[in-house]
Chain A
Amino acid sequence: MDYEALGLVAGIEIHQQLNTREKMFCACPTLLRKFDERNGEFFRYLRATESELGEIDLAAKEEMKHERLFTYYTYDTTCLVEYDEEPPGPLNAEALEICCTIARMFSMTPVPQIHTMRKLVIDGSNTSGFQRTALVAFDGELPNAGTIETLCLEEEAAQRAEGHTFSLDRLGIPLVEITTSPCMRTPEEVEAMARYIGMALRSTGRVKRGLGTIRQDVNISIRDGARVEIKGVQELDLIAEVVRREVERQKNLLSLREELRERKGAVKSEPADVTRVFSKTGSSILKKAPCVLAVVLEGFGGLVGREIQPGRRLGSEFSDYAKKCGVGGIFHTDELPAYGITAEEVEKLRVSLSAGASDCIVLVAADPAKASCAARQVISRAEKALQGIPEETRRMLEDGSTAYMRPLPGAARMYPETDVFPITISDDWYGRLPLPELLSAKAERFSREMGLDPALASQIASSEQVFLFEQAAASGIPPLLAARTLLATLKELSRAGTDVSVISDEDIMAVLSAVRDGKAAKEAVPAMLDALAQGRTLDQALSTCAPSLSREELEKIIRKIVEERRSFVVSRGKGAVGPLMGVVMAEVRGSVDGKLVSEILSKEIARVLGK
């Protein structure tokens, strides 16, 4: 696809959790918990408040379509601030420092005085009904002439446990939000940019890692299309696909509009009650419903069922809109007869509404209030199809397609968080924040200075253990040994059933230091780590896995082995070193450095041969 010709414009918004000791506005730890560790629950209603013109924010209003009761899980690691039962404490200084460090990495200009705002969010994910957020810096630089518009420090929302139930452990974890300008033109560029920013953030060593700790939102539009924001892309591998599919969707919706215009498509502004048409239907959903409403879409026949994105049709969009009213979904004549609805019933429906074959009829079934709300949602979305593409916030589905979430939020939903004092950023302090080395630069350096293979260097640089690796290398541990231990040995142990999560960084450093100091051979590393994981002390691990052998003892063992295999040695000559290495190593059980064994073995073999 020629994205340039289509006029693709994309920007990304990256949300990255910060690995601070405490939460953004309270002293709780930034610890995620298991739901069954909760120690209580409470529940609340959230209501949108009146703005100046007596109107509530469009996105907020959408959430209000049915007033909802939210349940919250509490833990011994949450406090009254997360309950919305105590005013927030001062803004976390550690979080602000990390945030400013990141801003400086992108050469951004800090805001002279930072003001915390309340951003209205009434989907239940914030107990207060707003998310606290502060604009920290402007105008950052990215590779390929890309730019960052703003960097904000926000509090993380509560995690949805299920339905309208949220878990408070995540609420309040500091989050940096980076918003790029719409500076990307191809799906691949979007992916590369997201990867770059993620790498830069991890370079600080002060961000959280693992699934769910970084989320990407993508803003996409094509020429004549509309700005659509896709929320919560967690896997980077999918980001380009999401962009490709959104372009496809917008392109298909535009051609659908052209076709509708040619057909002189129109939407009947009032739904019709067709409950009686289905009084004897075989469809259990329609039969059970107290009220069935029909929306007639003139000229839409065949278009509602047409695919606009893999697995998605215009009908799916109607359904998403209707679901906001609490109905389970919709039926439309492009997919009928089916679901227990017969061809006769469809015909009867068309006749009763005087709708032709070129028209599409959408059905919603529920109690009268919900059905009416859902029918109006369908009418509103169908009217938008005649205009083109609605501006929307969408959520990603598993494969990279998207579903409608809510209208794009307006700008008018923020007001000051008066409980938090503003913070003045001095140029002097900002200018002296130390800049971390980028992980990409680290990879190059590891390869250049330590002689690591470039692929291994970049693998270790992008791993979670990069800082531990640097610490090990700096303390004189052979880099290759450190890299192998961190990247391969731990994984192998885990695969073999060892619980490696209990092995601390200090344990790893102690084992590697023992090798460095000649107290153990590098071959003993897996066994020692395994012993530590079983709860042994380092000394116990050393004595069982790497009993110390003096050089004399080792020479005695090797001499014995060589003597016993004299004829083999004589027949193989120097080539006997290799096979005998294995025999010796098995005998000494990894307690000795292989290099030393090889040295003594060669000497002994030479001695036998020289005789």
Chain B
Amino acid sequence: MKGGISSGDTVLSRIGRTERTGTFITERDGMAIVKLSSGYNIGLPRDHLSLLARSEAVPAPLISVAQDDSLPDLSIVSTGGTIASRIDYRTGAVTSQFDADDILRAIPGLRGIARFQARKLYTLLSENMTPAIWTELARAVFEEIKKGSTGVIVTHGTDTMAYSAAALSFMLDTPVPVVFVGSQRSADRPSSDNTQNALCSARAAVSDLGEVVVVMHATTSDDRCSIHRGTRVRKMHSSRRDAFQSIGVPPLGSIKYPSLEVTLSDHARRRREDEPCLKDGIDDHCALVCFHPGMKPTGLELYSGYRGIVIAGTGLGHVSSELVTAFRDLIEDGTVVVMTTQCLHGRVCDRVYDTGRDLIRAGVIEGEDMLPETALVKLMYVLGNTADRDEAVEMFRHELRGEYTRRSVNGL
């Protein structure tokens, strides 16, 4: 409330010789923003406004949506990624929707796939995601599976979705699909990828899958979604719909749109009758360090006391000779150091060149063809589940959730 006029009030705005009616929206950077009756917003000095009438709050009618009891149960756990939103054309405000009814109203096609229960865990921008929240998320998803959900959909902002998907992959041994989904174009726009992604993720969640996956657009067209393994997926474009790609392995499958026909590859883990298993320990005293020419050894002092470091090295997994000593010191102090490649594609091999051999002698672990981000999450996970360094290293070397492969297949 400022100067007696508050958001939603009807105001008279004076511009030049004429006055126009509009709705006061807000004041920003010294300008009052008014939505004129034509629908246009304009900014003008605050003293050009006079109050005409107080706003009459129009509550949105709450229509609950009937669900089909004969369909399987799905849980939606939201962390902040929006698959549904609502525009208030009176004020122009866009609000995210997390309630099951709201989601079903926004994407009516979901009603034909399953019965939904929605659980709002967080509403955060995914760049604000933390390892501590991964733990909470893993617990929430675990509870939903224990309750008997046919599958769980996790809505997530796309920026760090791959990290969270990797974290849940390690923390949760799930017999049913846990599907991460988001949208690259906000849900308020008619062209949003939210509808296709949501429908495909729901279909994946009732499918024969039995692991943690990411389901997002496969191409720039609205033709299909890819199913990516949570430990092998990476956001490879800042803005495109098909930003998510499996690296080093083919996707686990795809879902055609709009037919929603699911195809699973042989290497996708299938749905099982086992009990789910949760190991939710995580140690966030870990870092991902991207090596670059000119990197100073002193910069690494920052990481002393860290339990784990993943290096995104150059090429086959290198850092400058000058840094090898610094990493050796960290390892001698008890830090686990893992080498991955900033090439993203391909395998680390520190036995080809001298610096590589020096790194191995210093105790650096080769991260195989693991993505740097996945290696980081895995390192946090193994260190979060044992206090013993050697045991952690032993766990790290094991393939746990398809996060690396021992064969590099051509064409990927």
Q: B-contacting residues of A (Cβ < 8 Å)? A: 42-54, 60, 69, 80, 83-87, 109, 111-115, 117-120, 122, 127-130, 133-135, 138-139, 150, 152, 411-416, 422, 424
Verify B43–A112 contact, CB threshold 8 A. Answer: yes
Verify B42–A115 contact, CB threshold 8 A. Answer: yes
Residues of A within 8 A of B241 (CB): 85
B148 at the interface (CB under 8 A from A): no
Verify B39–A109 contact, CB threshold 8 A. Answer: no
B90 at the interface (CB under 8 A from A): yes
Verify B188–A85 contact, CB threshold 8 A. Answer: no
Verify A51–B89 contact, CB threshold 8 A. Answer: yes
Shortest beta-carbon distance from A415 to chain B in Å: 4
B222 at the interface (CB under 8 A from A): yes
User: When A54-B105, A86-B239, A109-B15 are in contact, do A130 and B38 touch as well, CB less than 8 Å?
Assistant: no
Verify B190–A42 contact, CB threshold 8 A. Answer: no
Provide the bound-state CA to CA distance between A328 and B404, in Å: 57
Residues of B within 8 A of A69 (CB): 222
Verify A47–B195 contact, CB threshold 8 A. Answer: yes
Residues of B within 8 A of A150 (CB): 38
1/0 contact string of B325-338 vs chain A (CB within 8 Å): 00000000000000
User: When A49-B87, A51-B88, A54-B63 are in contact, do A422 and B239 touch as well, CB less than 8 Å?
Assistant: no
Q: Which of B63-121 contact A (CB under 8 A)?
A: 63, 85-90, 92-94, 105-106
Verify A416–B41 contact, CB threshold 8 A. Answer: yes
Which one of B29-37, B292-300, B387-395 is at the interface?
B29-37
B412 at the interface (CB under 8 A from A): no
B407 at the interface (CB under 8 A from A): no
A-B contact pairs, 17 of them (CB 8 A): A44-B221, A50-B105, A51-B87, A52-B87, A52-B89, A54-B61, A85-B239, A112-B43, A113-B43, A113-B44, A122-B190, A128-B190, A128-B191, A129-B189, A135-B36, A135-B41, A415-B87
Q: A-contacting residues of B (Cβ < 8 Å)? A: 15-18, 20, 31, 33, 36-45, 48, 58, 60-61, 63, 85-90, 92-94, 105-106, 185, 187-192, 195-196, 219-223, 239-241, 258
Residues of A within 8 A of B105 (CB): 50, 54
Residues of A within 8 A of B44 (CB): 111-113
Residues of B within 8 A of A411 (CB): 37-39
Residues of B within 8 A of A422 (CB): 31, 43
Verify A112–B188 contact, CB threshold 8 A. Answer: no
Q: Which residue of B lies closest to A71 (CB)?
A: B221
The 6 closest A-B pairs by CB, nearest first: A129-B190, A113-B43, A109-B16, A414-B39, A135-B40, A115-B41
User: When A42-B219, A115-B33 are in contact, do A414 and B89 touch as well, CB less than 8 Å?
Assistant: yes
Shortest beta-carbon distance from B212 to chain A in Å: 27
Interface contacts (Cβ under 8 Å), in number, total 148
Shortest beta-carbon distance from A160 to chain B in Å: 17
Shortest beta-carbon distance from B211 to chain A in Å: 29
Verify A85–B222 contact, CB threshold 8 A. Answer: no
Shortest beta-carbon distance from A125 to chain B in Å: 12
Shortest beta-carbon distance from B130 to chain A in Å: 26
Residues of B within 8 A of A84 (CB): 185, 191
Provide the bound-state CA to CA distance between A129 and B221, in Å: 15
From A52, A122, A135, A412, give the contact of B60 (CB < 8 A): A52
Residues of B within 8 A of A114 (CB): 42-43
Residues of A within 8 A of B219 (CB): 42
From A112, A412, A414, give the contact of B40 (CB < 8 A): A414
Provide the bound-state CA to CA distance between A43 and B20, in Å: 41
**Which of A45, A86, A152, A415 has the largest count of B CB atoms less than 10 A from its CB?**
A415
Provide the bound-state CA to CA distance between A47 and B83, in Å: 14
Provide the bound-state CA to CA distance between A152 and B105, in Å: 34
Provide the bound-state CA to CA distance between A80 and B106, in Å: 27
User: When A50-B87, A85-B220, A415-B94 are in contact, do A139 and B16 touch as well, CB less than 8 Å?
Assistant: yes
Shortest beta-carbon distance from A158 to chain B in Å: 12
Q: Which residue of B lies closest to A108 (CB)?
A: B16
Shortest beta-carbon distance from A123 to chain B in Å: 10
Verify B90–A52 contact, CB threshold 8 A. Answer: yes
Residues of A within 8 A of B220 (CB): 42, 83, 85
Q: Which residue of A lies closest to B42 (CB)?
A: A111
Shortest beta-carbon distance from B61 to chain A in Å: 6
Residues of B within 8 A of A113 (CB): 31, 33, 42-44
Verify B15–A43 contact, CB threshold 8 A. Answer: no
Q: Which residue of A lies closest to B18 (CB)?
A: A139
Shortest beta-carbon distance from A49 to chain B in Å: 6
From A109, A115, A129, give the contact of B191 (CB < 8 A): A129
Shortest beta-carbon distance from B1 to chain A in Å: 22
Q: Which residue of B lies closest to A41 (CB)?
A: B221
From A44, A122, A424, give the contact of B222 (CB < 8 A): A44
Q: Which residue of B lies closest to A111 (CB)?
A: B42
Residues of B within 8 A of A119 (CB): 39
Verify A412–B90 contact, CB threshold 8 A. Answer: yes
Residues of A within 8 A of B20 (CB): 138
Verify A46–B191 contact, CB threshold 8 A. Answer: yes
Q: Which residue of B lies closest to A129 (CB)?
A: B190
Verify B189–A49 contact, CB threshold 8 A. Answer: yes
Known: A111-B44, A413-B89. 7 other contacts (CB 8 A): A42-B220, A43-B223, A50-B87, A52-B58, A52-B88, A122-B190, A412-B89
Provide the bound-state CA to CA distance between A134 and B41, in Å: 8
Shortest beta-carbon distance from B188 to chain A in Å: 6
Provide the bound-state CA to CA distance between A52 and B43, in Å: 23
User: When A52-B87, A112-B44, A139-B17 are in contact, do A47 and B38 touch as well, CB less than 8 Å?
Assistant: no
Provide the bound-state CA to CA distance between A58 and B20, in Å: 25
Verify B18–A138 contact, CB threshold 8 A. Answer: yes
Q: Which residue of A lies closest to B63 (CB)?
A: A54
Verify A87–B190 contact, CB threshold 8 A. Answer: no
Verify A412–B39 contact, CB threshold 8 A. Answer: yes
Q: Which residue of A lies closest to B94 (CB)?
A: A415
Shortest beta-carbon distance from B198 to chain A in Å: 12
Verify B190–A52 contact, CB threshold 8 A. Answer: no
Residues of A within 8 A of B89 (CB): 51-52, 412-415
